[in-house]
Amino acid sequence: MMFNLLYKELRLAAHPNLYIFTLLGVLVIVPAYPYGMVFLFGCLGPYISFMYGRETNDIYYTSLLPVKKRDTVKAKCLLMVLAQMTQLSISLPFAVLRLRTLPSSNPAGIEANIAYYGFGFIVYAIFNLIFLTQFFKTAHKVGKAFVLAIIPASIGVIIMEVLVHIPKFQWLDSVEPAIMLKQLPILIVGIIVYILSMLVAYRVSANRFQQVDL
Amino acid sequence: MNALSVKGLTKRYPNFLLQDISFDLPQGKIMGLIGINGAGKSTTLKSIINLVNSDSGRIEMLDKDFRENEESCKQDMGVVLGGIDFYNHKKLTDITAVTKRFYKNWDDEAYQRYIKAFSLSPHKKVKELSSGMKVKYMLALALSHKAKLLILDEPTSGLDPVSRDDILELFRQLVDSKGLSILFSTHITSDLEKCADYITYIKDGRLLKSAEKSAFIESFQHLKEPGDKSELSLEEIMIRTERRSYDV
């Protein structure tokens, strides 16, 4: 059933922009670019899809299918996870390629290193938790949910990008294997925070959506 | 057995109260739900199918509690919400490809048959269909997963007289040949004259009367005025029941 719901999301509910923003994981190959933008694109893609879903009455369609009301929420959560994880997976080979082909560091901000991906999970987690729980209060006020979620997510990105310019935190900017090992806890914490935030987001959103009158 | 049984359905909104709605739709019959705009017809239908959370009441579909068996009940149900189009920019083939995955009784051959019979072009986009065609497409989907109960919210609103007659004729055929049960809301009384077996009348969120058509008409004959020679029609019943005077 979950596969069918995800299939519905991809074939009917997702806006083509979601695929484009997901592909923007490749931006980590740009020589000088604030790579934190990649994560914000990973938040923008789902937002546009949710807005498109509202305009195409996607929630009504799903609610009439022989599924539980909370499965409508589960489908949206799965779509977000799929898009964001795909985005990270797409960016990975380009991060390695950049390291091999462009020896100079990224002057615009953080390198696409292990700490970067750890922060990425945290940025996604902040956005998803606020966006999903706000949206499913009404299942139609998508703009308000986006504004409330993108502000803290952007602050997270700015902190990450600024931090590496402070001498004390320059180890966060390193792509040396030994130092990247030191960054590993950030990635682990990021993944844990992401998983926890999605579980809470699903639970709270599903309970809120249960109360919504369509 | 009743296809649908509604008992004591109540829904409170800040500015509207749907109160204690009860009726039974026997299997193989068509019931028209009538009332003026804003009377509570859509709220009733949406509460039945759980799109709206009712405050109290019990819904039974084919002797099963709907709330407790929502998924299996929806397998046997087809719903058409008038005025709500899904995925306007998608082709019918895309919507069908997704929809069929959710129904265990989906019959592809039957779907092809209905698409042909209703002259639907599967490669058209939803927005390219006329209002009548949209209703027919939704019916084709419902019939292809062998729905036993159809619930339609104002399926004939906005249709020209010929398309309206076409849809109502189709309802009659589906009930007579396949034993389907249909509950549809309308404010067009001629729809009821044409095809309803039972009528349920809602006024200001309350149930005024639910009965078999001839008994329903009979029960409103007290509204006759001096000079009325023949039996009151459904339209006259509705107009006289709803008539207001303004102190202006």
* B95 contacts on A by Cβ (under 8 Å): 12
pLDDT (0 to 100) of residue A199? 98
CA dihedral sign of residues A33, A125, A140, A76:
positive
pLDDT (0 to 100) of residue B85? 84
- Which member of B53, B101, B103 has the closest CB to residue A211? B53
pLDDT (0 to 100) of residue A174? 87
Rounded-to-integer distance, Cα A118 and Cα A122, Å: 7
* B81 contacts on A by Cβ (under 8 Å): 60, 64
Burial A8-23 (b: 16+ CB within 10 A, else e): bbbebbbbebbeebbe
pLDDT 10s digits, B16-30: 999 999 999 999 999
Structural domain contains residue B126:
no
How many independent structural domains does chain B possess? 1
* B50 contacts on A by Cβ (under 8 Å): 69
Structural domain contains residue B108:
no
pLDDT (0 to 100) of residue A121? 97
Rounded-to-integer distance, Cα A178 and Cα A182, Å: 7
Length of chain B in terms of residues written:
248
The pLDDT confidence band at residue B41, using thresholds 50, 70 and 90, is very high
pLDDT (0 to 100) of residue B66? 93
* B86 contacts on A by Cβ (under 8 Å): 12, 56-58, 60-61
Cβ–Cβ below 8 Å for B98 and A12: yes
* A12 contacts on B by Cβ (under 8 Å): 86-87, 90, 94-95, 98
Task: Pick the residue from chain B with its C-alpha nearest to A63.
Answer: B51
pLDDT (0 to 100) of residue A8? 95
pLDDT (0 to 100) of residue A100? 87
pLDDT (0 to 100) of residue B11? 95
Phi/psi of residue B89, each to 5°?
A: -95, 5
Q: Determine which of B47, B54, B101 to mutate to test the interface with A (most A C-beta atoms within 10 Å).
A: B101
Which residues make beta-bridge pairs with B26? B2
pLDDT (0 to 100) of residue B13? 94
Cβ–Cβ below 8 Å for B71 and A68: yes
What residues in chain B have their Cβ under 8 A from chain A's Cβ atoms?
46, 49-53, 70-72, 74-75, 79, 81, 84-90, 94-95, 97-99, 101-103
Rounded-to-integer distance, Cα B48 and Cα B66, Å: 8
Domain that residue B163 falls in: 1-83+146-240
Question: Average pLDDT over chain A, rounded to whole?
Answer: 94
Contact pairs from chain A to chain B, CB under 8 Å:
66
The complex scores an ipTM of: 0.89
How close, in Å, is residue B45 to chain A by CA atoms?
12
Q: How much is the pTM?
A: 0.90
Q: Which residue has the tokens 């044409």?
A: B194
Can you count the helices (H) and strands (E) in chain A?
8, 0
The pLDDT confidence band at residue B51, using thresholds 50, 70 and 90, is very high
pLDDT (0 to 100) of residue B172? 92
pLDDT (0 to 100) of residue B44? 95
How close, in Å, is residue B209 to chain A by CA atoms?
26
How close, in Å, is residue B224 to chain A by CA atoms?
40
Residues 120-149 of A with CB under 8 A from B: none
Cβ–Cβ below 8 Å for B102 and A213: no
Structural domain contains residue B121:
no
Q: Which residue has the tokens 């189009």?
A: B85
Burial of B195 per CB tally in 10 Å (0-12, 13-18, 19+) = buried
DSSP state of B91: B
| Token code pair at residue B53 | 């959370």
pLDDT (0 to 100) of residue B157? 85
Residues 6+ apart with CB under 8 A from B67: B50, B58, B59
pLDDT (0 to 100) of residue A214? 87
* B51 contacts on A by Cβ (under 8 Å): 60, 63-64, 213-214
Helix, strand, coil abundance in chain B, percent, nearest 5? 40, 25, 35
* A65 contacts on B by Cβ (under 8 Å): 74, 99, 102
Share of chain A above pLDDT 70, in %: 100
- Which member of B79, B81, B94 has the closest CB to residue A12? B94
Structural domain contains residue B219:
yes
Check pLDDT > 80 for residue B82: no
Check pLDDT > 80 for residue B84: no
Structural domain contains residue B113:
no
Q: Determine which of A5, A65, A79 to mutate to test the interface with B (most B C-beta atoms within 10 Å).
A: A65
CATH number at residue B77: 3.40.50.300
* A17 contacts on B by Cβ (under 8 Å): none
Residues 6+ apart with CB under 8 A from B161: none
Q: Determine which of B72, B86, B104, B145 to mutate to test the interface with A (most A C-beta atoms within 10 Å).
A: B86
pLDDT 10s digits, B121-176: 999 999 999 888 898 899 899 999 999 999 999 988 888 888 889 889 989 998 99
* B94 contacts on A by Cβ (under 8 Å): 11-12
Per-10-residue mean pLDDT of chain A, 214 residues long, equals 92 94 93 93 96 94 92 94 96 92 86 94 98 96 96 96 91 88 95 98 96 91
The pLDDT confidence band at residue B210, using thresholds 50, 70 and 90, is very high
CA distances from A190 to A101, A120, A123, B28 (A): 28, 7, 9, 58
Q: Would you list the DSSP string of A99-159?
A: HHH--S--TTS--SSHHHHHHHHHHHHHHHHHHHHHHHHHSS-HHHHHHHHHHHHHHHHHH
Check pLDDT > 90 for residue B77: yes
Cβ–Cβ below 8 Å for B94 and A56: no
What average pLDDT score do residues B197-224 get?
92
